[in-house]
A and B are shown apart, each in its own frame.
Chain A
Amino acid sequence: MYIHKRVANLYRDSVSLMQLSAALGRLPGVEQASAVMATPANLELLRGARLLDGAPSASPNDLLIAVRGKSTAALEAAIAAAMEELQRPPAQAGAGGLAAQPPRSLQMGLAQVPGANLALISVPGEYAAAEAMKALRLGLNVMLFSDNVPLADEAALKRYARGRGLLMMGPDCGTAIIDGIPLGFANAVRRGAIGVVGASGTGTQQVTSLVHRRGAGISQAIGTGGHDLHQDIGGITMLRGLELLARDPQTRVIVLISKPPSPRVAKAVLDAARRAGKPVVVNFVGAREPASGANLHTAGTLEEAALAAVALTAGRRPARPPRPGRKIPKTKFRKNQRFIRGLYSGGTFCYEASSLLGEAWSNAPVDPARRIKEVWKSSGDTLLDLGDDVFTRGRPHPMIDHRLRNQRLLAEAADPEVAVILFDVVLGYGSHPDPAAEMMPALLEARRNRSLVLVGSVCGTDEDPQGLARQESALRKAGVVLAESNARAVRLAAAIAGRRA
């Protein structure tokens, strides 16, 4: 018996067709096979070879596959094999020995790596929303590092993502750790059972680093971006993150980090947290009111949040927050020398300090009444977020470029009323490769010929490229009094300057 199949308007050269014919002839149950362009001469050949009879309705532009054998099944299988070969996708066709072109769009990248599942986007803000929308439309989860994206665009992106079950981290999302992989500004931490959803990049860095330093680990750390809990956004990403972590079997305890949200958004987030089915530690930095609920645990500081989460994964109840146990260095200050100046690279650290010190002036105050009037001139206790736009215009972020902070540090040190200079050092991927070395000359100069206390905390881990121990030891040598966390550093600074925090 014999059957044939016509493929309309498909041209193949005769050599390719002879190869195809030979391959079909080798298939089991096939006695003879031929694939030809259906010219009158070729059709005559097929009839002569007992592969065809009569005159099929085929034109010379059609390709004809004819097979002879014993069973219909074998012949149909052969035709199917031929069709598959003819329709072999172009991706498998050769590139003539040329290397693949580097992808120039997300879509091109996805074509090269069809398994890609997240786009990490850090293009200038004016292009960021469009790039993120493309990524979502292509079915990718997104971490949008870029800032300066209008709130309306953020809402549109997050609603689109929500409708398609995708995670939209950011805009203005600095930090995430997915499957143990650091994204953006993030620390190298071991994997574990604590999941984090953070609206603050440095907040997430502090909590994940401290968890690592206490021997525990992170399942996932999801960033939402700084505006997610704004009432126009409604916490879409925090709610989605909570949902993902609640479902994630690796995650046993969840930590939520944010500045205090608007009451309506706070209610939605806390309601969802109560339904998470696992303990949730809530740190709304600077919030006065504790969250209530059987599985909810309020933490006053980022450090408390980390310690509570570590305790909960070990099956313990979180302990009362520790008071600064360390000895307060005795320093002889002159009569008018009494103020604290905080110079922060991490915005949330500055905010946390403002929350703990209360009365300090700041460009990121918890109490709007304490907003500093003139950011270039400190007075009284002053806490500055040097990552604020006003300082970063035209220069890199202070986690990468320490020059501005070094200058400001020397200016503060020259102020006779200053007793304590307080600062953070943020390690991890994205940050400066050796911040201690970068700060060293300014730190040494600041304390030359005067009694002044430098208090700092290093946010990072032993696995970070900069090395926690190496950085801490260098800073100690420069005379910096170090605390394990920002909250401890703030309290220590307050104690040294003789006030409460």
Chain B
Amino acid sequence: MSALFAKPLSVLNVGIASFADAIERRGGAAVRIEWAPPANGDARAGAALARLVNDARVEAANAQAAERYLAAQPRLEGIGVAREALPGMGTRMILHAGPPVAWERMCGPMQGAIVGAILYEGWARDAEAARAMAKGGEIAFEPCHHHGAVGPMAGIISPSMPVWRVLNPVHGNRSFSNLNEGLGKVLRFGANGPEVIARLNWMRDTLAPALQAALGKLGPLEIKPLMAQALHMGDEVHNRNAAASSLLIKRLMPALLKSGAPAADAAAAVEFIAGNDHFFLNISMAACKAMLDAAHGVASSSMVTAMARNGVEFGIRVSGTGERWFTAPAPLVNGLYFPNQSIKDAAPDLGDSAITETAGVGGFAMAAAPAIVKLVGGSPRDALANTLAMTHITLVRNGGFTLPALDFAGAPACIDARRVVDTGILPVINTGIAHKEAGVGQIGAGVTRAPLACFAKALVELKTSCR
């Protein structure tokens, strides 16, 4: 039975604004919808969206996917070696950030990092030979995401690199990430000189064993409570990890001292971690990956389970559409640039680190990190507004990640591709900016948005698979 006549007329007005004025002048109630053609006027996506809004199957699937995301309990188990730990990792394989991309199309920093990884693995004598090898098709390049892993910026993981091992015992899934090298001349920005390779060697030979010994002593470390605490200390655990890195070292240090690791190694490890405010980032990313993989693969679900960039394309994956990537050109990042650098020098958006936003932290939890908004050019109010805007495109608020500035409401999480297309509100991403040439490093930081076209394409596919 229609609720018309029985209840007072209450109108949602879409289109001609004066119709709402007339309703109000005659004492009626009208809300003006700020409408624009959904999906930038893409008729196929618009029609798919219309059939998916409030669809019972999609709603049920999303509830299930979100529940799995919320229930996941990522746990840091230790350190492994990529070739042994990562499922499907080949001996002559290098993993990279974002959706699949061929060598010829890769951006400068990614190519530079791959050259570095080849040198690190000892597959070639010099950079020139490494380049020829990469070009010659001798090495398989695959996305980290295809192997349960995530990596910031270029996201390069080669077989002998140490990786964080994360387990979500609730659903039994594992995820991985490489170890953070710090700032400056580092592989993830495409640097591949001797000092970069030397640091990677040290991380493999000294840092990783020390950390493994410490974690062995400590036992598995629950990551979510650590992230939650860091959110209360001014981090958003994507572009600001100062608090989380401190909390981590606080947990690791006693165990490391008791682990029997050589004192000089322990000291070097502690000094390295203490000198890198982003050390926790890769753990945060692996934890987010574990939570989202738990929610992946629920048929008919429109929940986004990955957002990742390879420096050429921005790609997303959706729970109900399997392993497919939906891509659009990666945007250039409007942000604050270091002295003598500008957007003209920037590589397009790069890295798997948008997995944090996908999991409801990073840009989605910007309200927690007022200190970061200056870096990304805004006021603390903008940070709150960004987080609040994300509530309109997400399925839940994560009670595990509460935000003090918003009266301890949970962080908005579980992006609904339908709502993104319907509202045109695009997921906000806090990100570092890489120089477009290999090895120059980070040249700025900013806020960017996921491209609408990815979500529109996903809806068309979801509509087909929902038939």
Contacts and interface: CB of A to CB of B under 8 A. Distances in A.
A61 B19 contact: no
B28 A140 contact: no
Contacts of A107: 53-54, 419, 422-423
A205 to B, nearest CB: 13
A109 interface: yes
Contacts of A119: 11-14
A183 B400 contact: no
Given A110-B12, A130-B38, A116 B19 contact: no
A134 B9 contact: no
B3 A188 contact: no
B7 interface: yes
Interface stretch (A7-15, A224-232, A319-327, A382-390): A7-15
Interface string A33-61: 00001000000000000000000000111
Nearest to A248: B5
A179 B28 contact: yes
Contact of B2 (A13, A141, A179, A181): A141
A90 B50 contact: no
B31 interface: yes
A98 B423 contact: no
B73 A123 contact: no
Q: Which of A16, A108, A188 gathers most chain B CB within 10 Å?
A: A108
A204 to B, nearest CB: 15
A462 B415 CA distance: 52
A80 B55 CA distance: 33
B385 interface: yes
Contacts of A117: 2-4, 7, 9-10
B409 A134 contact: no
Contact of B402 (A12, A60, A146): A12
A109 B289 CA distance: 32
A181 B19 CA distance: 11
Given A60-B222, A134-B49, A166-B2, A116 B10 contact: yes
Contacts of A250: 5
B232 interface: yes
B27 interface: yes
Given A107-B53, A141-B2, A181-B28, A11 B12 contact: no
Contact of A120 (B19, B70, B388, B405): B19
A445 interface: no
Interface string B310-324: 000000000000000
A363 interface: no
A349 interface: no
B367 interface: yes
A120 B12 contact: yes
B408 A93 contact: yes
A137 B55 contact: yes
A178 B232 CA distance: 51
Interface in B365-412: 367, 381, 384-385, 388-389, 391-392, 397, 399-402, 404-410
Contacts of B9: 117-118, 178-179, 181
Nearest to A463: B26
Nearest to A59: B222
A103 B50 contact: no
Interface string A9-26: 111110010000000000
Q: How large is the interface on A (under 10, 10 to 19, 20 to 34, 35 or more residues)?
A: 35 or more
Given A96-B407, A102-B34, A105-B419, A183 B53 contact: no
A158 to B, nearest CB: 14
Interface in A110-142: 110-113, 115-124, 126-127, 129-131, 133-135, 137-141
Contacts of B70: 9
A133 B51 contact: yes
A101 interface: yes
Contacts of A94: 406-407, 409
B2 A96 contact: no
Interface string B54-73: 11000000000000001101
A373 B232 CA distance: 76
B409 A90 contact: yes
A37 B228 CA distance: 13
A179 B31 contact: no
Contact of B10 (A115, A130, A137, A429): A115
Contacts of B198: none
Given A104-B423, A188-B26, A167 B4 contact: yes
Contacts, number: 232
Given A12-B402, A165-B1, A121 B384 contact: no
A118 B11 contact: yes
B11 A120 contact: yes
Interface in B390-447: 391-392, 397, 399-402, 404-410, 419, 422-425
A244 interface: yes
B73 A9 contact: yes
Contact of B408 (A16, A110, A145): A16
B51 A118 contact: no
Interface in B1-51: 1-5, 7-16, 18-20, 22-23, 25-38, 41, 43, 46-47, 49-51
Contacts of B404: 13
A321 to B, nearest CB: 32
B405 to A, nearest CB: 5
A183 B11 contact: yes
Nearest to B20: A120
Given A13-B232, A96-B407, A182-B22, A118 B12 contact: yes
A105 B225 CA distance: 35
A39 B73 CA distance: 16
A118 B422 contact: no
Interface string B260-285: 00000000000000000000000000
B224 interface: yes
B235 to A, nearest CB: 14
Q: Which of B15, B29, B406 gathers most chain A CB within 10 Å?
A: B15
A120 B406 contact: no
Given A106-B33, A116-B12, A179-B28, A138 B54 contact: yes
Contacts of A103: 12, 31-34
Interface in A450-475: 465
Nearest to B72: A9
A220 interface: yes
Contact of B422 (A60, A105, A113): A105
A189 to B, nearest CB: 10
Q: Which of B27, B73, B407 gathers most chain A CB within 10 Å?
A: B407
A184 B19 contact: yes
B12 to A, nearest CB: 4
A104 B424 contact: yes
A29 interface: no
Given A134-B53, A137-B54, A430-B22, A101 B15 contact: no
A139 B47 CA distance: 18
B11 A180 contact: no
A366 to B, nearest CB: 31
B22 A429 contact: yes
A434 to B, nearest CB: 15
A41 B15 CA distance: 59
B12 A123 contact: no
21 contacts: A9-B73, A13-B404, A13-B408, A16-B408, A59-B222, A60-B222, A61-B222, A98-B384, A101-B389, A113-B29, A115-B7, A117-B10, A120-B15, A121-B15, A123-B15, A130-B38, A130-B47, A141-B2, A180-B26, A181-B28, A429-B18
For the complex of A and B, 4 pairs with smallest distance between CB atoms: A122-B15, A93-B409, A94-B407, A429-B22
Given A117-B2, A130-B47, 6 more contacts: A10-B400, A93-B397, A96-B367, A116-B31, A166-B2, A178-B4
Interface of A: 9-13, 16, 37, 59-61, 86-87, 90, 93-96, 98, 101-113, 115-124, 126-127, 129-131, 133-135, 137-141, 145-146, 165-167, 178-184, 186, 188, 220, 244, 248, 250, 429-430, 465
